[in-house]
Chain A
Amino acid sequence: MARLTINGKSLELKVDPTTPLLWAIREQAGLTGTKYGCGIAVCGACTVHLDGKAVRSCVVPVSVAEGKQVTTIEGLASGGTLHKVQKAWVDNEVPQCGYCQSGMIMAVAALLKDKPRPTDADIDAGITNICRCGTFQQVREAIHAAAKA
């Protein structure tokens, strides 16, 4: 059993504490916006926030997340209003297949908290997610747009 707070909701989950947070989010909490891509923290598709910091949830055991605030892509918008990163993503038509974009958006939302007006160098250093469709040109434009929003 594990008690997790996901998107502000406290949940009692029937899960082995060694289970990666990714799979607890997907298979116990039922939130499937967070994706599996590699399982070894290389691709970033599983990025969520743990107390506001971006983590790759495929290698974070559930036990580490207990007592912390977990935010997933489903919890990024507040009420009916898209987060400024999500809005910039829509305006700039960033996604192609979209599969990696939950993780990309979560990574960018965390970056903008630390660096509200990131330079291109900040973006290069801070965003290391893999996107096989190759949306990076639009990702960069949308990050700058979100920073100005």
Chain B
Amino acid sequence: MITTPKIDRRSFVIGTAAVGAGLTLGLKIPFGAGVVRAQDGSPEINAWVVIRPDDTVVVRVARSEMGQGTLTGLAQMVAEELECDWSKVTTEYPTPGQSVARKRPWGNFSTGGSRGIRESNEYVRKGGATARVMLVQAAANGWGVPAAECSAANSVITHKSTGRTTTYGKVAEAAAKLTPPAEVALKDPKEWKIIGKSVKRLDTMTKVTGAQVYGFDLKMPGMLNAAIKDCPVFGGKVKSFEADKAKAMPGVKHVVQVGDSAVAVVAETWWEAKKALDALPIVWDEGPNAKVSSATIADMLKEGLDADQAFVRTQVGDAKGAFAGAAKKVEAVYAYPFLNHAPMEPMNATAKYTADKCEVWVPTQNGEAAFAATLAASGLPADKCEVYKIMVIGGGFGRRGAFHDYVTQAVQIAKQIPGTPVKLLWSREEDMAHGRYHPVMQAKMRGGLDASGNLVALHMRLSGQSILSSVFPQNLQDGRDNATFQGLDPSGDFTLGYTVPNLLIDHAMRNTHVPPGFWRGVNINQNAIFLECFMDELALAAGQDALEFRRKLMSKYPKHLAVLNAVADRGGWGKPAPQGVYRGLAHMMAFNSYVAACAEVSVTGGDKVKVRRIICATDPGYAVNPAQIERQIAGSFVYGLSAVFMQENTVKNGAIEQLNFNTFDSMKIAQMPKVESIIMPSGGFWGGVGEPTICVAAPAVLNAMARATGKRIRTFPLKNHGYQMV
């Protein structure tokens, strides 16, 4: 039995030679002169829309679904302009290989940075609108009437004066042969009927019956299963291993070295492979990194807090001078640890290699990056490689975007067993030991108040890892990693919402051998804690209310202020809280959305922390599916609060110490606060949804805790200070 995911069965074929040559994504929608057909023969109206004779509309989505709902949201946007019957909409992924062959009609496959909808909304809406124009034109041609006399709604085209009707399915064939219009007008947002509605997700049913096929559920004829162990010390290598000991164990077919740092056992079943791998003696050459520990890393970062040299991102006035002359000085050092992504589905990839074809089936946030990894590992050219994205990913959170080490490994294994499909699955322990971790960072915050308690100087010195220098060094700007300053920028998608007359924000880059990655929210997680907790510290030192203290600095940032005011109002800020309940606030702008939170916390017995309720406001510009936005808000709080209360990855002898959920705990339902969402789209821009809100939960809770306990915690996780989330 083959249970490959849907895309494999439905992968479409090209009916004509490559189309749309040379077109640039986002400027023009690529179309060709001939009809391109899906595998079942249904015509492609354009790259985004296939219509079947039974009126089913297949919307092609390039971004990946990992739970965030982008599949449904992007389909809503196409359907809005297409004027199709939403109940007949289904979705599928184009493959990266087809995209390359057709000169990237679907553009960027990357699904990260909360950009699925905010960056592709325009071209997918145009894709829908263009298809609608062509379908209406085809119907008009059939009736011999001007297209202007016809209209479309719910997949039905009507000729007004004669009352004649036809359906999209009936005219799709003719429409696909038409030359697409050069320009299409998009609807005014006021006319939207599907965008903005909480339509049901398209992918729920299979997730409650066990029928959804995830990457690690794949089955193929003759497939073998691989378990792998990479050198626990990053940068280390395999010295030797006793393959014979594993080969003698039941089910084992192959024991292979993978690259220069890993060993894999390939067996009939994964459990057999894992057992044999556990019994396999491997000698490592751990290299110089074996001397590194969390303590040595912390010392290196600490040195950076006062180093003379640092990359300056923002400089207004003379922060150091104003601080030195301030009536009152406040200084604090914060630190944020390494964090593994720990998605529920561990890393996996299935590869099949022959001399003239390499195919990979993989849950990935970036099909094109997986494709590039396949090309590099196989040594085959693009026209001999293909990557099939698994329809649904068992959690991504950034681990499966820029990094495809598991794809490289799967291909390296498959290459040693040509013709046999091999499914590589990492154990949880392997997944924990070989992450791309949230960067480790410290911050020294210095704030100066004048005699009236006004903030006159702020110096924020970051010291720690740069993600870009490790992952995309070409994106550094004169050596500076601007992503480090997310949420602290002078302008753009991550704008700081305060005006401070003397402001300095700089970064002493201190990189480690532990590889950093993009972890849901990326650098806003720690920056929001550093900034928003310190703002509360400053307000306290000034003897002012935390909200009023902020408001005075925010007059130039009305959208920041609007979300902050919204949570303060709903949360009853300034009014008495129930006995034993304390409130905390935080806000940020991230991924082009404005977000704020008001948390209610009680602390009992000195150490048991109950987060009772968090009110969250977000202004993402436009809200495509409010019900899914609410779920992203609540979910992001679980991810962020799990980290701040209970998670860290520490390093001993160069290797990660926490290898499973017993030492890297995650929130349970008992610890879930009541989350109330205020979705307040103000229009005119497109902001992200999946990540921005994550960063306000932690500082809001920490600020409430500081009020409850009188103590300010500045290093994480909170469990290291004896606090327990209840």
Contact = CB atoms under 8 A, between A and B. Distances in A.
Interface of A: 16, 19-20, 23, 26-28, 30-40, 42-43, 45, 72-74, 76-77, 82, 86, 89-90, 93-102, 105, 123-125, 127-140
Given A40-B428, A74-B210, A132-B395, 12 more contacts: A27-B270, A32-B219, A35-B214, A35-B344, A35-B345, A37-B346, A39-B660, A90-B208, A93-B627, A94-B208, A133-B639, A134-B638
B76 interface: no
A94 B211 CA distance: 16
Interface stretch (B197-205, B309-317, B444-452, B600-608): B197-205
- The binding surface of chain B is classed by DSSP as loop
21 contacts: A20-B271, A23-B269, A26-B217, A30-B219, A35-B394, A36-B346, A43-B661, A74-B211, A86-B208, A89-B204, A93-B204, A97-B67, A98-B212, A101-B208, A123-B670, A127-B668, A128-B670, A130-B661, A130-B666, A137-B634, A140-B672
Contact of B675 (A76, A125, A137): A137
Contacts of A130: 344, 661, 666-668
Of residues B217, B344, B427, B631, which shows the largest number of chain A Cβ atoms within 10 Å of its Cβ?
B344
Nearest to B200: A93
Contacts of A100: 344
A95 B208 contact: yes
A134 B634 contact: yes
A94 B631 CA distance: 9
B669 A140 contact: yes
B428 A37 contact: yes
A125 B213 CA distance: 31
A89 B208 contact: yes
List 9 tightest A-B contacts by C-beta distance, closest first: A33-B210, A134-B638, A97-B67, A98-B207, A99-B394, A96-B67, A134-B635, A124-B670, A73-B210
Nearest to A97: B67
B474 interface: no
B394 A97 contact: yes
Nearest to A125: B670
B66 interface: yes
B491 interface: no
Contacts, number: 179
B393 interface: yes
Contacts of B271: 19-20, 23, 27
B293 to A, nearest CB: 25
A54 to B, nearest CB: 15
B370 to A, nearest CB: 18
Nearest to A34: B210
Chain B interface size, as a band, is 35 or more
A143 to B, nearest CB: 9
B208 A82 contact: yes
B343 A132 contact: yes
B669 A33 contact: no
A100 B342 CA distance: 13
Contacts of A28: 269
A127 B201 contact: no
B209 interface: yes
A133 B66 CA distance: 9
Contacts of B214: 32, 35, 99
B661 A105 contact: no
B636 interface: yes
Given A37-B344, A98-B207, A133 B67 contact: yes
Contacts of A76: 209
Given A72-B210, A139-B669, A42 B635 contact: no
Contacts of B636: 134
Contacts of B201: 93
A47 B471 CA distance: 37
B484 to A, nearest CB: 25
Contacts of B393: 97
A133 B669 contact: no
A39 B209 contact: no
Contact of A135 (B397, B631, B670, B674): B631
A51 B208 CA distance: 21
Given A36-B216, A136-B638, A140-B669, A95 B344 contact: no
B20 to A, nearest CB: 33
Of residues A23, A34, A96, A135, which shows the largest number of chain B Cβ atoms within 10 Å of its Cβ?
A96
B208 A124 contact: no
Contacts of B525: none
A139 B667 CA distance: 14
Contacts of B3: 32
B248 interface: no
Given A30-B219, A93-B200, A99-B214, A23 B270 contact: yes
A19 B211 CA distance: 24
Nearest to A72: B210
A43 B213 contact: no
Contact of B67 (A95, A127, A138): A95
Contacts of A98: 67, 203, 206-208, 212, 392, 394
A43 B3 CA distance: 26
A128 B668 contact: yes
B87 to A, nearest CB: 16
A97 B200 contact: no
B199 to A, nearest CB: 10
Given A43-B661, A101-B208, A130-B344, A136 B392 contact: no
A30 B213 CA distance: 12
Contacts of B203: 98
B205 A97 contact: no
Nearest to B211: A33
